[in-house]
Amino acid sequence: MQRQLKVLLRFWVLGFCLSGSAIFAQDGKMYPMDAPEEPRAIPLNTGGVKEQPATESWFRQWGDPMARNISRATLTPFLADPAKATGASVIVAPGGGFMWLSMGNEGWEVAEALAARGINAFVLKYRLQPTAGTLEGFETQMKERFAEAEKHAKDKSSQPPKRLPGDLSDQLADVEAAYALISSRAAEWNVDMKNIGMMGFSAGAGLTMATTLQSKKVKLAFIAPIYGGMNAVEVPKNAPPMFAAIAVDDFLFHGEFGLIKSWYDAKIPVEFHLYQNGGHGFGLGNPDRTSNKWFDAFMHWLDVNGFLKP
């Protein structure tokens, strides 16, 4: 099964990858769960999702809460203690291949870690592509994708697996609405809008890059795509400094450094951490993996570059 997942995901473009927190672990079975209370979640009012008959639903996989069929975007603030505030803020975009979001491993836990270090964090629950109404149906959808990828891997003349839609207009609108909301409440939340960045994981890293490359409304001071696609891009002149991290044994890496070279060639500050191991979807880290120290490295990078000055 793990091999099938790796084969499938190699076919998917930047950002259109399954969140590894929902892939590699001891128990990959999906267990239904009630939607958790999200008392701090603020609706972004960006509209719904076309052809979305199913309602938002949640499940657990490897103990982590996952949300799918999200048609109403929200933003949840995790504000730093003003006494500890460093001056930086971060929009956090979880991953999940634009089919679900790893809300715990790549959302709330990361935001709590940032807030503990004096950084305001805002978890973006962005809109997703429609999936089956039932969890069983969703599992069947995934198995079919795996089978298509496996067939194409064995027979190159067969029909390649369908890629996920390349239109991120809904998700970009969600980021822009989140940015506008933070701006409107900057004084209340102690946010310096000149010192706000974005961090994304897997598909969330793809959304971070799409925001950086395409949005004219979001002005980011720094970005941190974590285990996202590594293909080369055309870098805007006003692109922000970038911190990127990925592991050698991540199926998205396969020896590609295009993204890093793009920033280097554009003469924009870039820091890149290629870890010996960690796989995909390691979040804040898994035991006994070299990638476990990436968050400390990120904090040091922010500090050295002057983003943590109150």
Torsion sign over Cα 290, 294, 300, 306: positive
Predicted pLDDT of residue 111: 98
Predicted pLDDT of residue 281: 80
Describe the chain by its helix, strand, coil percentages, rounded to 5.
35, 20, 50
**Residue 112: CB atoms within 10 Å:** 14
Predicted pLDDT of residue 52: 87
Predicted pLDDT of residue 160: 56
Predicted pLDDT of residue 9: 35
Contact 194, 221 (CB under 8 A): yes
Q: To 5 degrees, how large is the angle CA 254–CA 273–CA 195?
A: 125
Predicted pLDDT of residue 217: 98
120-176 residue pLDDT tens:
999 999 999 999 999 999 988 877 866 775 665 566 566 655 555 578 999 999 999
Distance between CA 76 and CA 237 in Å, rounded? 31
Predicted pLDDT of residue 200: 98
**DSSP 8-state code for residue 261:** H
Query: Domain segments of the chain: what residues?
Result: 2-304
Distance between CA 174 and CA 230 in Å, rounded? 24
Distance between CA 294 and CA 159 in Å, rounded? 39
31-33 and 57-61 beta bridge pairing: antiparallel
For the chain, residues with pLDDT lower than 70 are 1-27, 145-146, 149-165
Contact 225, 106 (CB under 8 A): no
Q: pTM (2 decimals)? A: 0.87
Q: Which fold has domain 2-304?
A: Rossmann fold (3.40.50)
Q: Which two tokens stand for residue 43?
A: 């609706």
Predicted pLDDT of residue 154: 65
Task: Name the nearest CA neighbour of 281 among 208, 204, 198, 209.
Answer: 204
Provide the residue count of the chain.
310
Which amino acid is residue 274, in one-letter code?
L
